[in-house]
């Protein structure tokens, strides 16, 4: 088990340099939310991607990231925040390489899914690292920088994407490799090892969390395309069947008839 790091009430220079590395990791995740919107036209032209494929290139990243956030937050307590942050950054970097060299839309979507996994690891572990590294008023300043980084990165994404698209859309993903190298160097140099907590992951709860958050993200993103009531219409027969099944098995009589043609009157 790694030793518990200690910091003086006033954070030292290494802590603030570590914050720079953490902020770079967070900005990398956020930029890849918005940069793809700008480079989609050349991607569609180069890879001959359909409208459906283009939609999934944009949105697969957000869906898997949202689905895994809670699970990765729990894993950071067990594995150690710094260790897991490094793993997430490496996963994000490798996924960026896969996306940058993707010869087809399908492989680009797979790369975006993998990027989402890396992003889901980086985001919660970055918060854990800030909490571990800073104390008292410095912690508030660090969290303010973290939040400001998200807003700034969201604005920078489209600008950076437009600039890189002048050369090749692949640079929108390839440029991440250089940033990943800086992040890893900064984390290993300036952030001390994180303590690990004893415990285990609730597998059932983790599966429900991933499924629930993933479906929620999918519904919010895709509802405008599939129609907000399509799912209800599709599952309507199953719902009716379930209701019929429950009625037939229930030992308690219903005060209402099953249909208008049923015998008996409603109580009045």
> Looking at 32-36, 100-104, 230-234, 255-259, which range is the least confident one?
255-259
For residue 139, give its domain range. Answer: 9-193
Q: What's the predicted TM-score (pTM) here?
A: 0.76
Assess contact for 206 and 90: CB atoms under 8 A.
no
Q: Would you say residue 215 lies in a domain?
A: no
Per-residue model confidence (pLDDT) at position 81 = 92
**Two tokens at 115?**
């990027």
Q: Would you say residue 26 lies in a domain?
A: yes
How many other C-beta atoms can be found within 10 angstroms of the C-beta atom of residue 162? 13
CB half-sphere exposure, 41, CA atoms < 13 A: 6
**Two tokens at 93?**
């970097």
Per-residue model confidence (pLDDT) at position 1 = 42
Return the closest-CA partner of residue 70 out of 142, 111, 15, 127. Answer: 127
Q: Would you say residue 227 lies in a domain?
A: no
Tally the domains of the chain. 1
User: Exposed, middle or buried: residue 176 (CB in 10 Å: 0-12, 13-18, 19+)?
Assistant: buried
Q: Would you say residue 256 lies in a domain?
A: no
Assess contact for 191 and 82: CB atoms under 8 A.
yes
Confidence of residue 91 (pLDDT cuts 50, 70, 90): very high
Q: Would you say residue 258 lies in a domain?
A: no
Confidence of residue 4 (pLDDT cuts 50, 70, 90): very low
Mean pLDDT for the stretch of residues 179-189: 95
CATH number where 174 lies: 1.20.1250.20
Return the closest-CA partner of residue 154 out of 46, 14, 37. Answer: 37
Assess contact for 212 and 128: CB atoms under 8 A.
no
Assess contact for 60 and 97: CB atoms under 8 A.
no
Q: Would you say residue 229 lies in a domain?
A: no
> Looking at 133-137, 145-149, 190-194, 200-204, which range is the least confident one?
200-204
Mean pLDDT for the stretch of residues 169-179: 94
Q: Would you say residue 54 lies in a domain?
A: yes
Q: Would you say residue 2 lies in a domain?
A: no
3-state SS record for 9-42: CCCCHHHHHHHHHHHHHHHHHHHHHHHHHHHHHH
Sequence-distant (≥ 6) Cβ neighbours of residue 70 within 8 angstroms? 124, 206, 209, 213
Assess contact for 85 and 7: CB atoms under 8 A.
no
Taking only the tens place, the pLDDT of each residue in 96-144 is 999 999 999 999 999 999 999 999 999 999 999 999 999 888 899 999 9
162 or 84, greater pLDDT: 84
69 or 186, greater pLDDT: 186
């Amino acid at each position: 088990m790694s030793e518990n790091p200690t910091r003086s009430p006033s954070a030292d220079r290494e802590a603030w340099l570590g914050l720079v590395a953490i902020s770079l990791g967070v900005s990398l995740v956020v930029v890849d939310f918005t940069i793809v919107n700008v480079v989609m036209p050349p991607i569609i032209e180069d890879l001959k991607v359909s409208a459906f494929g283009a939609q999934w290139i944009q949105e697969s990243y957000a869906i898997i990231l949202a689905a895994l956030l809670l699970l990765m937050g729990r894993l950071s307590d067990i594995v150690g925040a710094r260790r897991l942050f490094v793993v997430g950054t490496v996963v994000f970097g490798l996924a960026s390489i896969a996306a940058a060299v993707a010869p087809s839309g399908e492989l680009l979507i797979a790369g975006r899914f993998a990027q989402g996994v890396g992003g889901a690891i980086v985001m919660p572990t970055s918060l854990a690292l800030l909490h571990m590294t800073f104390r008292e008023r410095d912690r508030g300043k660090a969290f303010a920088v973290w939040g400001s980084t998200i807003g700034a990165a969201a604005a920078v994404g489209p600008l950076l994407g437009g600039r890189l698209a002048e050369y090749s859309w692949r640079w929108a993903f390839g440029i991440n490799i250089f940033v990943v190298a800086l992040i890893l160097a900064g984390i290993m140099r300036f952030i001390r090892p994180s303590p690990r907590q004893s415990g285990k992951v609730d597998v059932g709860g983790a599966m429900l969390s991933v499924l629930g958050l993933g479906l929620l993200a999918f519904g919010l993103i895709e509802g405008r395309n599939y129609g907000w009531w399509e799912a209800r219409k599709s599952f309507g027969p199953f719902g009716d069947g379930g209701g019929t099944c429950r009625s037939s098995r229930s030992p308690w009589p219903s005060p209402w008839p099953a249909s208008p043609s049923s015998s008996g009157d409603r109580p009045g």
